[in-house]
Amino acid sequence: MLKAPKQIYSEIRESLYLILRLSMYETKSMYSMQYLGFLWELVTPILQISVYWFVFGFGIREGRDIDGVAFLPWLVSGIIVWFFISPAITTTARSVYSRIGLVSKMSFPLSTIPAYVLLSLLYRHFGMILVSFVLLAFFGYYPGLHTFWLIYLLISAVALLYALALLTSALTTIIRDLQNLLMSVMRMMLYLTPIFWLPTGWVQQVLQLNPLYYLVEGYRSMFLGTDWIVENWEWGFYYWGIVLILFFVGSNVHMRFRRYFIDYI
Amino acid sequence: MTSQVKFENVSKRYTLYRKQSDKLKEIFTGKTNGTQFYALRNVSFEVPPGEVVGIIGINGSGKSTMSNLLADVMPPTHGQITLRGKTALIAISSGLNGQLTGMENIELKGLMLGMSKEQIAALTPEIIDFADIGEFIHQPVKTYSSGMKSRLGFAISINIDPDILVIDEALSVGDQTFTDKCLTKMNEFKDQGKTIFFISHSVSQVKQFCTQALWLEYGEIREYGPVEEIVGEYNKFLKWYRQLTKSQQNQYKESKLTQRTTIVDSNDLGETIVLPRTQQTKEMTG
């Protein structure tokens, strides 16, 4: 049972250059038709944020702040990681079956497909983080020592998303409907993570079981310079436990069905 | 004498489901609910190095499945395939990415075939030269004509120095000059002692180019041997088949179909073993 995670790990390690190159081509073919290309990846979220701010901050909350933080910086610091997580989960889920036709050999390590698709999405996440730093600086939240948490958070996010992608990309190849289910779930998750509102009491306890909760609050704490990550260290352990379980299950499912992927398209 | 390609009791099975839900049931229970259909059934043969094998047969005889198995694109359901050296598949749908330029596709394809950065860099000029599509090499592949696409695909596959070359109906798209160029290149390969599989409907092309012929009929080998002999037999068969009435043809198909859906009694999981190329072929290729 431990063989599968080990093999995935060594495949990824040996294919780092391959993953890097393929992710660049992935990005390139995504933007090749557009004039503004990469810029759209920044413009769309900014437009979205302004609408959310208008509806939730201005409309529903009537301009009140959250925990002493004005709504707009509070929203931005939490939603930025969501703009990475949400497309990453849905795109990596269909990554294997939509690209297996390009793979010309059975010996090609299929575990690299979700990896390079994920990496290609990470580039625009970097762009968005930069924009957020600028935006938050206007509100008086400057980068500092706490910004180094970003490294930990990026590793955490990528680890979770890849482990999940191994599982979902294998299952989606066999059962396409899962793609639709995942999209609906992700749409709901947007409201079940502390992006627009901060849950309290038992609701908070339940919602925190979702590992994405940890990521959103972690990013927020990193951007705003609070101690949330340190104060919630036990949730950090919980998060990494989930990652390990997902990686274990995901790699076993992936290895089990790998040879049949080509038959399912 | 070591063989370059060896098929031992190779079968490729597809399950024909009536409902999508049957597929799901199979995954969870392991019991199949649909009709079993053998694209290839208990196929065994051996090809020594340096042979050019023409694979012939009417539509639906399993030629495409055979080319996919030979190119190591999919695993067999049962049996063992042993391939000595690198295989390259040349088919019309060459799996190029339309959004990317020709140059980028060369690298992408090279990476997908497991080549290193240096290997790809070394091969790129040769590929560009062989494809001979001029300035278009820097344009997105989606702007290419079908001829240009297949030329690029062909150029990539042929220049990765394969030991086994599988050509699946690819020559029918290019113009005469390009076809000639390909034939020259393939003859070169033949002289180097590489093994070529040539899958074609054109019996005359097979006769002209191949040394051996493998005649597939409804997923099984009907005959395998020297090309003259087999092609003669095949032509005779075609003549006989054509003079049958529609109902007689269907009757013939029907009788073969029952055999094709009969389950092969085997529990082994098929596999494709790729061995490193022999010293012998290495010397030959220089």
- What local confidence, expressed as pLDDT, does residue B63 receive? 87
Across the range B11-23, mean pLDDT stands at: 79
- What local confidence, expressed as pLDDT, does residue A170 receive? 92
* Residue among A147, A261, A145, A160 nearest A213 (CA): A160
Q: Is residue A122 exposed (0-12), middle (13-18) or buried (19+ Cβ within 10 Å)?
A: middle
The three-state secondary structure class of A69 is strand
- CA–CA separation, A62 and A160 (whole Å): 36
Question: DSSP string of chain B?
Answer: ---SEEEEEEEEEEEE-SSHHHHHHHHHH----SEEEEEEEEEEEEE-TT-EEEEE--TTSSHHHHHHHHTTSS--SEEEEEEES-EEEEESS----TTSBHHHHHHHHHHHTT--HHHHHHHHHHHHHHH--GGGGGSBGGGS-HHHHHHHHHHHHHHT--SEEEEESGGGSS-HHHHHHHHHHHHHHHHTT-EEEEE-S-HHHHHHH-SEEEEEETTEEEEEEEHHHHHHHHHHHHHHHHHS-HHHHHHHHHHHHHHHTSPP---PPPEEEEEPPPHHHHHHH-
- CA–CA separation, B136 and B71 (whole Å): 28
Residue showing tokens 């079940």? A192
Per-residue pLDDT of chain A (265 residues; tens, 9 = 90+): 789 999 999 999 988 998 999 999 888 887 766 677 677 778 888 899 999 988 988 888 777 888 888 888 999 999 999 999 999 999 999 999 888 877 777 778 889 999 999 999 999 899 899 999 999 999 888 888 888 999 999 999 999 999 999 999 999 988 888 999 999 999 999 999 988 888 888 888 898 899 999 999 999 999 998 888 888 899 999 999 999 999 999 999 999 888 888 877 7
Instruction: Return the structure tokens found at A248.
Output: 């274990």
Per-residue pLDDT tens digits for B100-149: 888 988 988 888 887 888 889 999 998 998 888 888 999 888 888 878 88
Question: DSSP string of A157-220?
Answer: HHHHHHHHHHHHHHHHHH-THHHHHHHHHHHHHHHHSTTS----HHHHHHHTTSHHHHHHHHHH
Residue showing tokens 């005359």? B204
Neighbours of A160 (CB within 10 A): 23
ipTM: 0.78
Tell which of B80, B108, B109, B141 to mutate to test the A interface (max A CBs under 10 Å): B108
Q: Which of A25, A108, A259 sits opposite B108 (nearest CB)?
A: A25
- What local confidence, expressed as pLDDT, does residue B279 receive? 53
Asked if residues A78 and A195 have their Cβ atoms less than 8 Å apart, the reply is yes
Contact residues on chain A for B108, CB-CB shorter than 8 A: 21-22, 25, 102
- CA–CA separation, A114 and A110 (whole Å): 8
Q: Which of B24, B100, B272 sits opposite A28 (nearest CB)?
A: B100
Contact residues on chain B for A25, CB-CB shorter than 8 A: 97, 100, 104, 107-108
- CA–CA separation, B59 and B39 (whole Å): 12
Asked if residues B227 and B212 have their Cβ atoms less than 8 Å apart, the reply is yes
Residue B286 has pLDDT above 60, yes or no: no
Per-residue pLDDT tens digits for B160-184: 888 888 888 766 666 777 778 877 8
Q: List the domain boundaries for chain B.
A: 5-86+162-285
- CA–CA separation, B106 and B120 (whole Å): 8
Count residue pairs from A and B with Cβ separation < 8 A: 61
Nearest-Cα distance to chain B for A114, in Å, is: 14
DSSP 8-class letter at A265: -
Of B280 and A135, the structure prediction assigns the larger pLDDT to: A135
Residues 6+ away with beta carbon under 8 Å from B251: none
Across the range B10-20, mean pLDDT stands at: 81
Per-residue pLDDT tens digits for B181-204: 877 888 888 888 889 998 888 888
Residue B280 has pLDDT above 60, yes or no: no
The upper half-sphere exposure of residue A105, i.e. CA atoms within 13 Å in the direction of its Cβ, equals: 17
Nearest-Cα distance to chain B for A199, in Å, is: 39
- CA–CA separation, B136 and B141 (whole Å): 8
Per-residue pLDDT tens digits for A157-208: 999 999 999 999 999 988 888 999 999 999 999 999 988 888 888 888 898 8
Nearest-Cα distance to chain B for A108, in Å, is: 7
At B217, the amino acid letter reads E
Neighbours of A209 (CB within 10 A): 11
Contact residues on chain A for B95, CB-CB shorter than 8 A: 101-102, 104
Per-residue pLDDT tens digits for B57-99: 888 888 888 988 988 888 898 899 999 888 888 776 667 888 8
Per DSSP bridges, beta strands B78-84 and B271-275 are parallel
Contact residues on chain B for A17, CB-CB shorter than 8 A: 117
* B5-86+162-285 CATH fold: Rossmann fold (3.40.50)
B99 and chain A: CB distance < 8 Å anywhere? Answer: yes
8 Å CB contact of A108 and B112 = yes
Instruction: Return the structure tokens found at A205.
Output: 């306890």
A9 and chain B: CB distance < 8 Å anywhere? Answer: no
Please work out, in degrees rounded to the nearest 5, the angle formed at the alpha carbon of residue B91 by the alpha carbons of B253 and B44: 50
- What local confidence, expressed as pLDDT, does residue A57 receive? 83
- What local confidence, expressed as pLDDT, does residue B158 receive? 82
B109 and chain A: CB distance < 8 Å anywhere? Answer: yes
Q: What predicted TM-score, i.e. pTM, was given to this entire model?
A: 0.86
% residues pLDDT > 70 (chain B):
92
Residue A152: its H or E element: helix A149-174
Residue B41 has pLDDT above 60, yes or no: yes
8 Å CB contact of A25 and B97 = yes
- What local confidence, expressed as pLDDT, does residue B186 receive? 80
Longest dimension (CA), chain B: 59
B128 and chain A: CB distance < 8 Å anywhere? Answer: no
Longest dimension (CA), chain A: 58
Q: Is the dihedral of CA B222, B228, B231, B235 positive or negative?
A: negative
Contact residues on chain B for A259, CB-CB shorter than 8 A: 75
Which residues 162-181 of chain A have a CB within 8 Å of chain B?
Answer: 174-175
Nearest-Cα distance to chain A for B20, in Å, is: 9
Residue B255 has pLDDT above 70, yes or no: yes
